[in-house]
Structure 1
């Protein structure tokens, strides 16, 4: 009886860990079939991490904003800039060097969108993966 109960608990814990859904912004860009196909794979974990941690918004003096390109040039017209949770970095269409950050002016705001370099984001991803183990 105890073995059966232990098996059921282990099974439910496995379902809970593996059944975690990725950030909805991943599915918004890549689609349901992609997410289902790659469930539990590193690529999905990476995209989820990038959607949540791949960027930040910083307030800067107005004079510094004039030097930057407008972020909306690299995102669809329906991009929601209102909160970091609604903003989808996975929709970025501009050039992005592996080892350099991208700085863009947020439309209608005194904020800069900072897109972290692939290299620094990968370092953070690896560190967070080690912490989870």
Structure 2
């Protein structure tokens, strides 16, 4: 599989993209305002460029993407009780972005490109988990 599972473009008003389990009430809080990633097991936010600098591209992959030329910002396990991933601008209402093959824990590596703020984010799911 050499194609993304999904690819979207977001205008990030607040400079944050939200990746969460559809319907979660968890909401990570910013501490310093300089964090590149805010993380709770069912809701992650990744810092991006603000909308005045252009849209942010987000891809979800499960194909062994190696991240060459990008920086890995987090490697973690997220929990998707609903089996639905929602990706949106942090202040927008959640929407169904990608249905996962099963509910539960998913290992995810997140890569970013762009300095000083990300203009591209790639979420890499474990390929074996995707094929289960």
TM tier relative to shorter chain: under 0.3
Q: Specify which structure has the higher proportion of helix.
A: 1
Bigger radius of gyration among the two: 1
TM-score (norm 1): 0.24
TM-score (norm 2): 0.24
Where relative contact order (Cα < 8 A, 6+ residues apart) is larger, the structure is 2
